[in-house]
Structure 1
Amino acid sequence: MKYRFLLASSVLILSLNVFASPALSQTNTKCEQHQEIFTFQVPNYAIKFHQGGAILNIKVAYRLTPEAISQNAYPDFVPIRKDIDKFLTNYPNDGDFWEIINKKLVQFLLDKYPQMASLSVELGVFPTPGEPFPRSSIVYSTRPQSCPLSFYPQL
């Protein structure tokens, strides 16, 4: 019985040390000490293929990985904007909801640009005669073991 108590006490003490470990708290503060976020917009983007056509306001924000920052491997946003255009122009399924399109767009961009630690894309859809109200889809994704955007920039 005495040994069980000692064993349980030891496990409890070790558990508390793990939760209070400076290494764990450094991981969290490391994410917030320095971040570089880049944002851009593609306003009034006309798309003809999807649901009879729509006008989108596209807002993009991404946080760079520490490796990209240390190596000055900043992606140029012009090719990213062109990739968004190609993705939307060649999107195969006319019936998908904007949320599905946006989710697939975010995954496509994260796959293509490893410099992005986290990414947020908002597809703002203007009113149409069939749906006379504005709406939007926001997809926010962070790579495993990466730091998220600490805020959502207002564009």
Structure 2
Amino acid sequence: SHGEKQRPAKSPSEDITVLSPYSKQVLRKFWNLVRKFQLPIGLILLIVYGWRKPMVLAINTLLLLYSTRPDPYSIYLFLQEIHQGKVQQNPALWKEEVIQTRKVDTEDYKFFSIGTVELKDRTVLHVIGILGNWWIYHVSYDKRVEQLYL
């Protein structure tokens, strides 16, 4: 019965296939970055290879922008991703199920969407939905919050 409890030694090839939790987290973050920047890099390549034919380039660019703009309601998924990023940095936020928002507005302009998100602390995120994702282009802080950080 004592021999049953001992496990056979692992071969070196088995150790390579098993990733540590840290390695999995790094790979997950890297893969998320690749997915996020896949379409912007595709647009850059489209411009680089198509600049000699401006009419074709304009049509292809407009088609890419139109077909890859995110749905206005997907902003809530984007907010959830932001919250999950914050959770990893600050375990005190684990108790919150979703990022606390006061108001979320989006407007669809066919080739991109614009959104504003007011958080509970009155911070306002200004985001643009383009190339398959939402991107924060400006953050406005409540005046009282700014004074606390100065």
After TM superposition, is the score higher than 0.5? Answer: no
What TM-score, normalized to structure 1? 0.24
Could you say which structure has the higher strand fraction?
1
Higher relative contact order by CA 8 Å / sep ≥ 6: 1 or 2? 1
What TM-score, normalized to structure 2? 0.25
Could you say which structure has the higher helix fraction?
2
